[in-house]
Chains A and B, each alone.
Chain A
């Protein structure tokens, strides 16, 4: 009887041990496969992110070049042409008039030098990295206000913190894209920009009082600039919401958890 009992215990315990061992081995294999799959997915995401980042850098650069070209054409060239004309007419005048014209030309040249200096410090991705997002947006808002195209009001809530070079670059590109849309299509008079820095949430809001559009149109245009805004926000682990309706302006909101670890 005891022998038989020992046999029963040995058999049942061996069966149980074997079953648990099989389960654990199966789990380890499954887990390893998941790890490999995740690693591949992460590599793919990293590659996509790098590509997108490069694209964003190029777009910011292109935007900067456009801005520089416009500034040179509309401002500096005009001023210098005026200076040339003034200097051309200086020969045949009275001494007092000559002095006045020289002074005027000097001021214009000084203005052109200041404008050129501003241009040299204009918005490139190196500039965003060194100045930070909020300062760069401030500069851009100043520039737009100066142009008189639209009245921009910039606000900030909470103490600003860095979101990381790459994320700030992407956010700035989102800002540029939104601003371009407002300037090109919205026929807006006012644009409100709000940056909210909470401990675990960053929010960028752009709200205009323009003609607005139906968001259903957005659903159908997968390649539009507004779709790009959504995709870019997702790329940096955030989310963009676009609210608009005809006649009621447009509100673009980008939210981002600054503490969230990214896959890239």
Chain B
């Protein structure tokens, strides 16, 4: 494991501890968010083991992308207030599950060790849309709590940030893989995005722990 991976695991572990300590006092969406951390930790570990043993972690990446999308969209499902939006999130989640299976079998087959870029693009597009919709909802129904003390704000910021940076990552990674050998610039950016996601998730959980009872919580 290189230093970036160690930092990544360390951050995940810290957020996991925060989630475990705060779990009982968290609201449903933030409990789901807290549960997504051990899932990420397990899948990341599996990814390393798989890469070491079978020289591929493609199947884990397929699975991880889907699992995390299901976690995040269920968080959004609970945070949205409009019934129609909730239904749309539910339907889209089912559609993404079907797409992930089709993608893993036919479009970017796991057996050919293909990186699931299509799935990443689809899920991140959805998350950006959800994030913007939640920002809109927050503006429509503001609560009296300071915005920086709201877990929902930090969670939504982390999703917007992570999903948009993933586009840049995915867009540049193949280009770099072709043109450079061992140039790590894009990987630093990739890991940087994950670090910020984990830090903001930790802040979101802590804020929700303190502000239970707010309208969105």
> Which residues of A approach B to under 8 Å, CB–CB?
1-2, 5-6, 8-10, 12-13, 16, 20, 23-24, 27-28, 30-32, 34-35, 38-39
Q: What are the 10 A-B residue pairs with the smallest beta carbon separation, nearest first?
A: A9-B185, A34-B142, A6-B185, A35-B142, A13-B189, A2-B183, A31-B147, A20-B161, A9-B186, A16-B168
Binds A, one of B64-72, B113-121, B172-180: B172-180
Instruction: With CB as the reference atom, state the residue of chain B lying closest to A23.
Output: B160
Q: What are 18 contact pairs spanning A and B, CB under 8 A?
A: A1-B180, A5-B183, A6-B185, A9-B176, A9-B185, A10-B185, A12-B172, A13-B168, A16-B164, A20-B160, A24-B157, A24-B160, A27-B135, A30-B139, A34-B142, A35-B142, A35-B147, A38-B144
A252: shortest Cβ distance to chain B, in Å? 31
- The 8 A CB mask of B137-169 against A (1 = contact, 0 = none) is 011001110011000000001001100110010
On whether the beta carbons of A31 and B139 are closer than 8 Å, the reply is yes
The main secondary structure of chain A at its interface with chain B is helix
Instruction: With CB as the reference atom, state the residue of chain B lying closest to A12.
Output: B168
Instruction: With CB as the reference atom, state the residue of chain B lying closest to A13.
Output: B189
On whether the beta carbons of B147 and A32 are closer than 8 Å, the reply is yes
Instruction: With CB as the reference atom, state the residue of chain A lying closest to B145.
Output: A35
Instruction: With CB as the reference atom, state the residue of chain B lying closest to A38.
Output: B142
Instruction: With CB as the reference atom, state the residue of chain B lying closest to A29.
Output: B147
Residues of A within 8 A of B180 (CB): 1-2, 5
Point out the residue from B138, B160, B186 that lies within 8 Å of A31, measured CB to CB.
Answer: B138
> Which residues of B approach A to under 8 Å, CB–CB?
135, 138-139, 142-144, 147-148, 157, 160-161, 164-165, 168, 172, 176, 179-180, 183, 185-186, 189, 192
On whether the beta carbons of A16 and B165 are closer than 8 Å, the reply is yes
How far, in whole Å, are A83 and B160 apart by their CA atoms in the complex? 87
How far, in whole Å, are A10 and B139 apart by their CA atoms in the complex? 33
The main secondary structure of chain B at its interface with chain A is helix
On whether the beta carbons of A1 and B147 are closer than 8 Å, the reply is no
Residues of A within 8 A of B160 (CB): 20, 23-24
Residues of B within 8 A of A6 (CB): 183, 185
Residues of A within 8 A of B165 (CB): 13, 16, 20
Residues of A within 8 A of B192 (CB): 13
Residues of A within 8 A of B189 (CB): 9, 13
Residues of A within 8 A of B185 (CB): 2, 5-6, 9-10
How far, in whole Å, are A23 and B164 apart by their CA atoms in the complex? 12
Instruction: With CB as the reference atom, state the residue of chain B lying closest to A15.
Output: B168
Residues of B within 8 A of A24 (CB): 157, 160
On whether the beta carbons of B144 and A39 are closer than 8 Å, the reply is yes
Other 14 A-B pairs with CB < 8 A, given A16-B168, A34-B142:
A2-B180, A5-B179, A12-B172, A13-B189, A16-B164, A16-B165, A20-B160, A20-B165, A24-B157, A24-B160, A30-B139, A32-B147, A35-B142, A38-B144
On whether the beta carbons of A5 and B176 are closer than 8 Å, the reply is yes
How far, in whole Å, are A2 and B184 apart by their CA atoms in the complex? 9
Instruction: With CB as the reference atom, state the residue of chain B lying closest to A261.
Output: B215
Instruction: With CB as the reference atom, state the residue of chain B lying closest to A10.
Output: B185
B207: shortest Cβ distance to chain A, in Å? 14
Residues of B within 8 A of A35 (CB): 142-144, 147
How far, in whole Å, are A24 and B138 apart by their CA atoms in the complex? 13
How far, in whole Å, are A31 and B165 apart by their CA atoms in the complex? 24
On whether the beta carbons of B147 and A28 are closer than 8 Å, the reply is yes
Counting chain B CB atoms within 10 Å of each CB, which of A6, A9, A12 scores highest?
Answer: A9
How far, in whole Å, are A12 and B192 apart by their CA atoms in the complex? 14
A140: shortest Cβ distance to chain B, in Å? 39
How far, in whole Å, are A12 and B180 apart by their CA atoms in the complex? 17
B200: shortest Cβ distance to chain A, in Å? 11
Residues of B within 8 A of A16 (CB): 164-165, 168
Residues of A within 8 A of B144 (CB): 35, 38-39
How far, in whole Å, are A1 and B181 apart by their CA atoms in the complex? 11
Instruction: With CB as the reference atom, state the residue of chain B lying closest to A9.
Output: B185
Residues of A within 8 A of B164 (CB): 16, 20
Instruction: With CB as the reference atom, state the residue of chain B lying closest to A30.
Output: B139
B125: shortest Cβ distance to chain A, in Å? 16
How far, in whole Å, are A191 and B11 apart by their CA atoms in the complex? 71
A196: shortest Cβ distance to chain B, in Å? 26
Instruction: With CB as the reference atom, state the residue of chain A lying closest to B186.
Output: A9
Instruction: With CB as the reference atom, state the residue of chain A lying closest to B196.
Output: A17
How far, in whole Å, are A13 and B147 apart by their CA atoms in the complex? 26
